[in-house]
């Protein structure tokens, strides 16, 4: 199975200039916890991601006002991606190695075309494989 077969296609994306409030609204609207940040609406090269945790840890916890901030102020970089042709074993390996719960998927032109989450893995893999992945992703940093 490939990343393209695992992924949720066409994720909501935004640019570094998108307000953080709009990023949060996209998360609510699309029932997700990560929004890929792309260079532009036409050029969907992924330059970072904003997670719900990024918003909390990089703004609220530091006493900053998220209503005055942009996606670029809270995004995680460098971004880890996989190609749509990447096999499921390698997708799991990337998630384990980088301890990430979601990974954007890029097409042959480098544009964001999907996202693979732990939930996507859980829907297709065995309980043991899913459990092993969750354990590795959740282990405190080494």
- Helix, strand or coil, per DSSP, at residue 39: coil
pLDDT of residue 141: 66
Count the alpha carbons within 13 Å of 31 in the hemisphere toward its beta carbon: 2
d(C-alpha 122, C-alpha 24), whole Å: 25
Question: Burial, 11: exposed, middle or buried (Cβ in 10 Å; 0-12, 13-18, 19+)?
Answer: buried
Any idea which fold 3-138 has?
Answer: CBS-domain (3.10.580)
Q: Which residues contact 97 (CB under 8 A, 6 or more apart)?
A: none
pLDDT of residue 86: 97
Sequential DSSP letters for 67-136 = GG-BHHHH-BSSPP-EETT-BHHHHHHHHHHHT-SEEEEE-TTSBEEEEEEHHHHHHHS-HHHHHHHHHH
pLDDT by residue, tens only, the chain of 142 residues: 999 999 999 999 999 999 999 999 999 999 999 999 999 877 789 999 999 999 999 999 999 999 999 999 999 999 999 999 999 999 999 999 999 999 999 999 899 999 999 888 888 777 777 777 777 777 776 5
d(C-alpha 71, C-alpha 24), whole Å: 10
d(C-alpha 17, C-alpha 13), whole Å: 12
pLDDT of residue 68: 95
Report the DSSP pairing between strands 82-83 and 8-9: unpaired
């Amino acid at each position: 199975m490939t990343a393209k077969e695992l992924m949720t296609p066409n994720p909501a994306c935004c640019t570094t200039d998108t307000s953080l409030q709009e990023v949060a609204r996209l998360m609510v609207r699309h029932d997700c916890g990560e929004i890929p940040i792309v260079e532009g609406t036409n050029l969907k090269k992924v330059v970072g991601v904003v997670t719900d945790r990024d918003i909390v840890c990089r703004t609220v916890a530091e006493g900053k006002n998220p209503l005055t901030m942009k996606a670029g102020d809270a995004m995680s970089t460098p971004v880890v991606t996989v190609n749509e042709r990447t096999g499921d074993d390698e997708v799991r390996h990337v998630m384990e190695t980088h301890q990430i719960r979601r990974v954007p998927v890029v097409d042959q032109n480098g544009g964001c075309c999907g996202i693979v989450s732990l939930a996507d893995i859980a829907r297709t893999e065995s309980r043991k494989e899913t459990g092993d992945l969750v354990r590795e992703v959740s282990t405190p940093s080494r």
